[in-house]
Structure 1
Amino acid sequence: MTFVRTYLRASTNEQDATRARQALKDFADQHGLKIAAEYVENASGASLQRPKLFELIEQAHEGDVILTEQVDRLSRLTAADWDKLKAMLTAKRIRVVALDLPTSYMMAKADDFTGRMFDALNSMMLDMLAAISRKDYEDRRRRASEGVAKVMANPSEKAAKYRGKPENTKRNDLVAEMLRASKSWTDIQEATGVSRMTVAKVAKRLKEGTE
């Protein structure tokens, strides 16, 4: 029996790693698949230090499916690290099904013969998307570094650059009141439209007694 194991990842603790849970569930329902286990973690896709991903691989049986939203949830790795991860997946014949990789859909319920036919094509597509994800990661880091270097090189612009927008005290007071009322962070975000990072900032102030 093939088990479907969903893998959900976000890069930082401030991001919601479970954001794509419903999309994966909907996909599984549409294709008559049953999700056997879910693995969630907040960790950089550019690093192999991901305990939940390795727990998934360890617990997976031969022929199981990893269902994920996008290939970059699985990898923003260097070529060498991607090869290591792919070798581990290949060793257990774990199939990767990503919502942004159409060819992988055909493997979700493929029999052994059909699955092997798609293996080569899907492997090539995974390599390509993993490389694109890594390039995007490196490009964004380069642009951020260039932006900081430009600001640091121009002291007259430095203060304005890092002063940021004035704090919305009225909105943050409402967030604080909702936190005091033991409302969930998700409810607060939906009610006020603030980011999870803002809720965390106000929660920290409350804990420190400065709000």
Structure 2
Amino acid sequence: MVICNHYAENESGVRLDRPELFRLLADSRPSDVLLVEDVDRLSRLTGGEWEKLKKLIRERQVRVVAVNVPTTWQHLAPAQNEFDARMFGAINDMLLDMLAAIARRDYEQRRERQTQGIAKAKANGKYRGRQVDQNRYGAINRLLASGSSWSQVQRTIGCSRSTISSAIKYAQKIAVKSGPETTNPIGL
């Protein structure tokens, strides 16, 4: 077996819209092997989206081999006969379906526990969320105050428009709390 290409996906397995996965499928040829570390690296999709992905994989005639699922390794060896090939295909399809469902359930449980943990921390006054980068917000507001456009600020700071909006809202909130006589600590 020859490894002909390597694809590294940065998107979550929760999303079907994953550029590297679709590039891999577009580059693949019939009987190619898609080697994954674990099924949850391939999919934490909902049932319907997993079915769509399976259909795409089937249409491309790509065989999935997961390092942690030994029965899928049979795809690496030539089939001894048609019966064995069909039997291992059915077993592997069933195992991949089960593992994809388990991966999705695990994802949903972790999200639920995270939500519960945040709610508990908020109730105890211990959760503050993501902290504001006052230096960055200050730089954004100083650039805006000096007449820079949002696009110029984006290029200079390397931030999104939503970050600029958040910086403005934060500065306004600080100004209201501080009163008009206080100098704004973040640049406005």
TM range, normalised to the smaller chain? 0.5 to 0.7
Question: In the alignment, what sits opposite 2:42?
Answer: 74
Give the Å deviation of 1:71: 0.4
In the aligned structure 1, how far is the partner of 2:47 from the partner of 2:63? 19
| Pick aligned residue for 1:107 from 37, 54, 75 | 75
User: Partner amino acid for 1:117?
Assistant: M
1:148 aligns with 2:118: yes
Question: In the alignment, what sits opposite 1:62?
Answer: 30
In the aligned structure 1, how far is the partner of 2:74 from the partner of 2:38? 16
Greater displacement, 124-133 / 104-113: 104-113
In the aligned structure 1, how far is the partner of 2:111 from the partner of 2:58? 30
| Pick aligned residue for 2:100 from 127, 130, 148 | 130
Give the Å deviation of 1:106: 1.2
- Spell out the pairing of 1:168-187 with structure 2 (5 A cutoff): none
Instruction: Give the 3-state SS of the residue equivalent to 1:40 in structure 2.
Output: coil
Structure having the larger proportion of residues in strand: 1
Assess, with a 3 A threshold, how the Cα gap between structure 1 residues 84 and 162 changes in structure 2: closer, same or farther.
closer
Question: In the alignment, what sits opposite 2:65?
Answer: 97
1:42 aligns with 2:46: no
Larger radius of gyration: 2
In the aligned structure 1, how far is the partner of 2:35 from the partner of 2:56? 16
Deviations along 1:42-99, whole A, 9 cap, x unmatched?
A: 1100001211101111111111110111001100100010000001111122110001
Instruction: Give the 3-state SS of the residue equivalent to 1:45 in structure 2.
Output: coil
Q: For structure 1, which runs of at least 5 residues remain unmatched after alignment?
A: 1-32, 164-211
In the aligned structure 2, how far is the partner of 1:151 from the partner of 1:141? 15
Assess, with a 3 A threshold, how the Cα gap between structure 1 residues 74 and 162 changes in structure 2: closer, same or farther.
closer
Please, what is the CA RMSD of the aligned residues? 2.0
User: Partner amino acid for 1:50?
Assistant: R
Give the Å deviation of 1:162: 8.7
TM-score by length of 2: 0.64
In the aligned structure 2, how far is the partner of 1:147 from the partner of 1:125? 32
Give the Å deviation of 1:116: 2.8
Percent identity among equivalent residues?
Answer: 46
Deviations along 1:93-129, whole A, 9 cap, x unmatched?
A: 2110001111101111233734333111100000000
Deviations along 1:173-203, whole A, 9 cap, x unmatched?
A: xxxxxxxxxxxxxxxxxxxxxxxxxxxxxxx
Assess, with a 3 A threshold, how the Cα gap between structure 1 residues 53 and 158 changes in structure 2: closer, same or farther.
closer
Report how many aligned residue pairs link the two structures. 129
TM-score by length of 1: 0.57
Instruction: Give the 3-state SS of the residue equivalent to 2:45 in structure 1.
Output: coil
User: Partner amino acid for 1:145?
Assistant: T
User: Partner amino acid for 2:113?
Assistant: R
Give the Å deviation of 1:152: 1.0
